[in-house]
Amino acid sequence: MAAASLDPTERLLRACRGEPVDRPPVWLMRQAGRYLPEYRAVREGLPFLDFCGDVEKAVEVSLQPLRRVGTEAVIVFSDIFVPIPGMGVSVEFAPGPVVAEPIRSRSQVENLRVPDPRETVPFVFEILRTLRRELADVRVPLLGFAGAPFTLAAYLVEGHGSSDFPVLQRMIAEEPATLRALLAKLTDLVVAHLEAQVEAGAQVVQLFDTWAGLLSPELYREWVLPTHREIVAKLPRAQAPLVLYVRDSSHLLDLVLESGADVISVDWRVDLADAARRAAGRASLQGNLDPGLLFAPPELIAERVREAAAAARGARGHVLNLGHGVLPGTPVEGVCAFTEAARSIGEGEL
């Protein structure tokens, strides 16, 4: 049974929980960012972390995609590294995160603090509270987010981004106790950060595990799944459903589903119809168009959006999104074509 004329908040929350909706809601990972000229104008000249800490500017860029590209949810503008300096680790952006003193020894892990983010990064919650007020009238839902422990650990151990994180791989093999202790502290931080975001008004929260897909199923079960299960168990999910994103996870999907997250966000390597069968009512799905598709003509984008919605029909719920963030240089028209196609999906087609 379809539900007629839902507002955007009801549509997203229902899709996350697997309740009937009129059509899938739509938003985009990295919908605020460099592809928007108005983002570049506000961002200009400010170091990235200072930008994330500027309440007025962060509120402004969080809202930009709502006006410009017709997205149906707002994600708070921040970064997965924002709460990390509060642990006692200095991080810079060039343009990705760079850790001057990578965390590689047991004593470094022991020295890490697990702060209350309300004290170390109060601006994140002020941004959320302001956004919630701004969005109340239009009934647009607000998302919070955090980096997952494994992905945060990958950067902290390696010191910077990498395609294969060799120092991390070595730590898995040779220093498992150190890595386990680091993941435990990061898991506590992530739970505290997401809890505080829900308290400040986030209605859905997304956990980004961008690099967990590097692992084999065996290593994922050992190193990643327990962190996800702990976060799922500790968050107030009745208040705010949890979306779990693991990039490059087609070989891991059954294990990702074992997390118990409300929504599993998959990338374009995953077949949505197959994922829906495997989820078998346990979780809703989010995704999964290739961000590169947004460079294509609008008709092709619209066709792919309709195909994704049809493929996900067997899922208990579906949130239309990309399989990873919007790429810098994406034409704004491509992003608009994506959201327009999503909004034109009628009940009859589904």
Identify the bridge partners of residue 242 per DSSP, sorted by sequence position.
Answer: 205
Annotated catalytic residue, options 17, 30, 68, 306: 30
Active site residue 39: no
- Under DSSP, is residue 54 helix (H, G, I), strand (E, B) or coil? coil
Active site residue 43: yes
Binding status of residue 34 toward ligand CP3 by CB under 6 A: yes
Inter-CA distances, 99 with 92, 108, 166, Å: 7, 13, 16
* Nearest residue (CB) to ligand CP3, 32 versus 121: 32
Backbone angles phi, psi at 313, to 5 degrees: -55, -35
Give least dist CB 256 to ligand CP3, A.
Answer: 16
Identify the bridge partners of residue 145 per DSSP, sorted by sequence position.
Answer: 206
Binding status of residue 168 toward ligand CP3 by CB under 6 A: no
* Nearest residue (CB) to ligand CP3, 115 versus 147: 147
Pick the binder of ligand CP3 from 11, 43, 193, 237 (CB under 6 A): 43
| Angle of the 149-158 helix axis to the 176-199 helix axis, nearest 10 | 130
Binding status of residue 338 toward ligand CP3 by CB under 6 A: no
| Angle of the 176-199 helix axis to the 166-174 helix axis, nearest 10 | 120
Give every CB contact of residue 190 below 8 A, 6+ residues apart in sequence: 146, 147, 148, 149, 152, 207, 231
Binding status of residue 220 toward ligand CP3 by CB under 6 A: no
- x/- map, 64-103, ligand CP3, by CB under 6 A: -----------x-x-xx------------x-xxx------
Active site residue 35: no
Count of chain residues binding ligand CP3 (CB under 6 A) = 23
Footprint of ligand CP3 on 226-285 (CB under 6 A): none
**For residue 174, with 0-12 CB atoms within 10 Å meaning exposed, 13-18 middle and 19 or more buried, which class applies?**
exposed
Give least dist CB 42 to ligand CP3, A.
Answer: 10
Binding status of residue 125 toward ligand CP3 by CB under 6 A: no
Stretch that binds ligand CP3, among 2-10, 145-153, 266-274, 340-348 (CB under 6 A): 145-153
The whole-angstrom separation of Cα 73 and Cα 93 is 27
Residue carrying the six token digits 């929504």: 263
Cα–Cα nearest to 131, from 83, 75, 191: 75
Backbone angles phi, psi at 302, to 5 degrees: -60, -40
Active site residue 304: no
Residue carrying the six token digits 């195909």: 307
Stretch that binds ligand CP3, among 27-35, 173-181, 279-287, 296-304 (CB under 6 A): 27-35
Give the distance from CA 77 to its chain's centroid: 12
Q: Are strands 74-75 and 91-93 parallel, antiparallel or unpaired?
A: unpaired
* Both structure tokens of 256: 């990702």
Active site residue 34: yes
Binding status of residue 149 toward ligand CP3 by CB under 6 A: no
Binding status of residue 30 toward ligand CP3 by CB under 6 A: yes
Give least dist CB 321 to ligand CP3, A.
Answer: 10
Pick the binder of ligand CP3 from 165, 208, 223, 338 (CB under 6 A): 208
Give least dist CB 165 to ligand CP3, A.
Answer: 12
Where in the sequence numbering do the catalytic residues fall?
30, 34, 43, 79, 155
Q: Which residues form the interface with ligand CP3 (CB under 6 A)?
A: 29-34, 43, 48, 75, 77, 79-80, 93, 95-97, 145, 147, 151, 161, 208, 210, 325
